[in-house]
Amino acid sequence: MKAVILAGGEGTRLRPLTLKVPKPVVPIVNVPFLCYQLELLKKYNIDETILSVGYQPEKIQSVLGDSNKLHYIVENIPLGTAGAYKNAESFLDGATLVFNGDILCNFDLNKIIRFHQENSAVATIVLTQVGNPSSYGLVETAEDGRVIRFLEKPDVEDITCNTINAGCYVLEPEVLEMIPFGKKYSFEQSVFPDLLTSGKPVYGYVASGYWIDIGTPEKYLNAHLDILQRRFVPSVVLPWEDAMPKLQPEAKSKFHNSFISSSCTIGEKSQIFSSSINDGCRIGKRVIIDHSVIWSGVEVGDDAKIEGCVVGNSCQIGKNAVLSGTILGDNTMVLDYSRLEMASK
């Protein structure tokens, strides 16, 4: 079975982080995001993947490289989820596993595929359970898993389930026949409702395991924290022991649940908690970095404090600056003694 990853979006919800870096390759604990999906696919012997890309495709290809098992197909115009799948049709020759390009998970793909085959489904929608169903579009299924209906962000009194579309599907080739070529088309709004109306066997598989959509800065940061605090163990091998920077014994710096590139320099008496710091960063003395993500080439002045933040590439943060709950795009300069704090709601 082959896989298609829908990675053509501009990542608007993640801006300013995605202005210069396409969402499919934003770093998650210093590893390009799509590597997590590709490694999950390899774990289940799905080693031929088609990437449907559209926004800054050359940057994605330069990061992920070329191979005879990884194909790129470019959307010249935005095609939507189903349109992007249709765009990859020339590579497909059977049932296909389809992933949205912004989900991080550890689902058992063998169980999903087996469920699809046992039910002779035309389409299987992988579902995940959520704690607050009113914030999502829900997928209601019968006891055997057959999809009954879709509920788009229902009122509390109309909620009948807590299962949402997880952005992962197994699709038979006849689904391709329903999608016009070269036009914007949606699985969620068109293909799946039309399959249901026509009486085709559409099933929902409730997957257990970890799942998160990294498409917002808050969720992007949460994904890091889940990995750093071992709530999620990905298929990607993370070199924890080799990642720590080399320090002199007298530095007296403290690190806890953090991933710090060995190319970074850390000043004395700095403290870093549940944070990811990418290549080539220079952290001053007595700095506190807590529950934050720091991209490459960032300079942090002495006595600065960074808490609950995401800091883009090549930013400069001055001495005694305080950042709390902020998102900085690439090349941002924060002057000495500045305070950037998320406004209270």
| Domain limit, last residue, from 228, 260, 280 | 228
Residues 99 and 185 in one domain: yes
Residues 122 and 38 in one domain: yes
Give the per-residue pLDDT at 154.
66
Query: Structure tokens of 90?
Result: 């020339």
What is the mean pLDDT for each group of 10 consecutive residues in the chain (345 residues)?
90 89 91 92 91 89 86 90 92 93 93 96 93 78 91 73 90 93 90 92 94 92 92 73 54 78 90 92 94 96 97 97 96 96 66
Residues 133 and 275 in one domain: no
State how far the alpha carbon of 53 is from the alpha carbons of 87, 133, 332, in Å. Answer: 10, 31, 28
Give the per-residue pLDDT at 241.
44
Residues 204 and 250 in one domain: no
Give the per-residue pLDDT at 345.
46
CATH number at residue 303: 2.160.10.10
| Domain limit, last residue, from 202, 228, 254 | 228
The verdict on residue 305 lying in a domain is: yes
Give the per-residue pLDDT at 253.
65
| Domain limit, last residue, from 171, 197, 228 | 228
Give the Cα-Cα-Cα angle 261, 266, 271 (nearest 5 degrees).
Answer: 100
Give the per-residue pLDDT at 237.
66
Residues 156 and 283 in one domain: no
The verdict on residue 321 lying in a domain is: yes
Residues 66 and 200 in one domain: yes
The verdict on residue 106 lying in a domain is: yes
Give the per-residue pLDDT at 242.
45
CATH number at residue 185: 3.90.550.10
Give the per-residue pLDDT at 151.
82
Residues 53 and 185 in one domain: yes
The verdict on residue 233 lying in a domain is: no
d(C-alpha 147, C-alpha 133), whole Å: 17
Distant-in-sequence, close-in-space partners of 196: CB < 8 Å, separation ≥ 6: 147, 149, 150, 202
Residues 128 and 269 in one domain: no
Domains in the chain: how many in total? 2
Catalytic residues: 153
Residues 203 and 279 in one domain: no
The verdict on residue 161 lying in a domain is: yes
In SS3 terms, the chain reads as CEEEEEECCCCHHHCCCCCCCCHHHCEECCEEHHHHHHHHHHHCCCCCEEEEECCCHHHHHHHHCCECCEEEEECCCCCHHHHHHHHCHHHCCCCEEEEECCEEECCCHHHHHHHHHHCCCCEEEEEEECCCHHHCEEEEECCCCEEEEEEECCCHHHCCCCEEEEEEEEECHHHHHHCCCCCCCCHHHHHHHHHHHCCCCEEEEECCCCEEECCCHHHHHHHHHHHHCCCCCCCCCCCHHHHCCCCCHHHCCEEECCEECCCCEECCCCEEECCEECCCCEECCCCEEECCEECCCCEECCCCEEECCEECCCCEECCCCEEECCEECCCCEECCCCEEECCCC
Q: For residue 180, what are the domain limits?
A: 2-228
Query: How far from the centroid of its chain's Cα atoms is residue 320's Cα?
Result: 33
The verdict on residue 58 lying in a domain is: yes
Residues 166 and 191 in one domain: yes
Residues 47 and 137 in one domain: yes
Distant-in-sequence, close-in-space partners of 187: CB < 8 Å, separation ≥ 6: 81, 82, 85, 169
d(C-alpha 283, C-alpha 269), whole Å: 11
The verdict on residue 234 lying in a domain is: no
The verdict on residue 137 lying in a domain is: yes
Residues 134 and 213 in one domain: yes
